[in-house]
Amino acid sequence: MKLEETLNRLDQTQNESLSRLSELLKFKSVSTNSKYKPDCIETAKWLVAELNDIGFNSSLRETTGNPMVVAHSNKSKGNFLFYGHYDVQPIDPIEEWKNDPFKPDVKTISGEKVIVARGASDDKGQLMTFIEACRAIKYVNNSLPINISILLEGEEETSSPSLVPFLKKNIDELKCNYAFVCDTGMWDKKTPSITCSLRGMLSEEISIKGPNRDLHSGIYGGAVNNPLKVMSKLLANLHDENGKVNIPNFYNGVETVSNELKNEWEKLTFSEEKFLNKIGLSKSSGEKEYSLLQKLWGRPTCEINGMWGGYIEEGLKTVIPSKAFAKISFRLVGDQDPEDIRLNFRKKLRNEIPEDFEIKFSDHKGSKATQFPLNDQVINKAKKALSDEWNSNTVFEGGGGSIPIVQHFKNILEMDTLLVGFAQDDDNIHSPNEKYNLNSFYKGARSWVRIIYEISE
Supply the minimum distance, in Å, between the C-beta of residue 236 and a copy of itself: 4
Q: How far is the CB of 414 from a copy of itself (least distance, A)?
A: 25
Which positions from 390 through 429 interact with a copy of itself, judged by CB under 8 A?
A: 399-402, 425, 428-429
Work out whether 301 is an interface residue with a copy of itself (CB under 8 A): yes
CB-based burial of residue 123 (10 Å sphere; 0-12 exposed, 13-18 middle, 19+ buried)?
A: buried
Distance CA 179, CA 81 (A): 5
**Among 54, 135, 112, residue whose Cα is nearest residue 440:** 112
Pick the binder of a copy of itself from 4, 75, 108, 279 (CB under 8 A). 279
Which of 79, 225 has the CB closer to a copy of itself? 225
Question: Whose Cβ is closer to a copy of itself: residue 5's or residue 303's?
Answer: 303
User: Shortest distance, CB of residue 14 to a copy of itself, whole angstroms?
Assistant: 28
As measured in angstroms, the least distance from the Cβ of 404 to a copy of itself is 11
Nearest alpha-carbon partner for 254 in 332, 329, 198:
332
Least distance from C-beta 338 to a copy of itself, angstroms? 14
Under 8 Å between Cβ of 202 and 338? yes
Cα separation of 278 and 34, whole Å?
34
Q: Which of 71, 80, 84 has the alpha carbon at shortest distance from 124?
A: 84
| Alpha carbons 401 and 2: distance in angstroms, whole number | 37
Q: Which region, judged by CB under 8 A, interacts with a copy of itself, from 5-13, 258-266, 272-280, 389-397?
A: 272-280
Contact stretch for a copy of itself (CB under 8 A) within 69-77, 294-302, 337-345, 438-446:
294-302
**Rounded to the nearest whole angstrom, what is the least distance from the CB of residue 419 to a copy of itself in the complex?**
13
Closest approach of a copy of itself to the CB of residue 396, in Å: 17
Residues 239-268 contacting a copy of itself, CB under 8 A:
239
Distance in angstroms (rounded) separating the CA atoms of residues 336 and 366:
11
User: Closest CB to a copy of itself among 21 and 353?
Assistant: 353
For a copy of itself, the binding residues in 181-240 under the rule CB under 8 A are 199, 201, 203, 205, 210-226, 228-229, 231-233, 235-239
Residues 338-357 that bind a copy of itself (CB under 8 A): 354-356
* Overall residue count recorded for the chain in this entry: 457
- Torsion over CA of 197, 155, 101 and 311, rounded to 10 degrees? -100
* Contacts (CB under 8 A) with a copy of itself, residues 120-159: 157-159
Q: How far is the CB of 210 from a copy of itself (least distance, A)?
A: 7
> Residues 302 to 321: which contact a copy of itself by CB under 8 A?
303-321
Q: What phi-psi label fits residue 90: left (phi over 0), alpha (psi between -120 and 50 degrees) or beta?
A: beta
User: CA 421, CA 180: separation in Å to the nearest integer?
Assistant: 10
Cα–Cα distance for residue pair 448/382, rounded to 1 Å: 9
CA 128, CA 69: separation in Å to the nearest integer? 14
Count of residues that interact with a copy of itself, criterion CB under 8 A? 97
Between 355 and 394, how does the x/- string for binding to a copy of itself read (CB under 8 A)? xx-------x------------------------------
CB under 8 Å to 249, separation ≥6 — which residues? 340, 341, 344
Which amino acid belongs to residue 351?
N
Kindly identify the residues of this chain, within the stretch 24-43, that bind a copy of itself according to CB under 8 A: 31-34
Which of 17/89 has CB closer to a copy of itself? 89
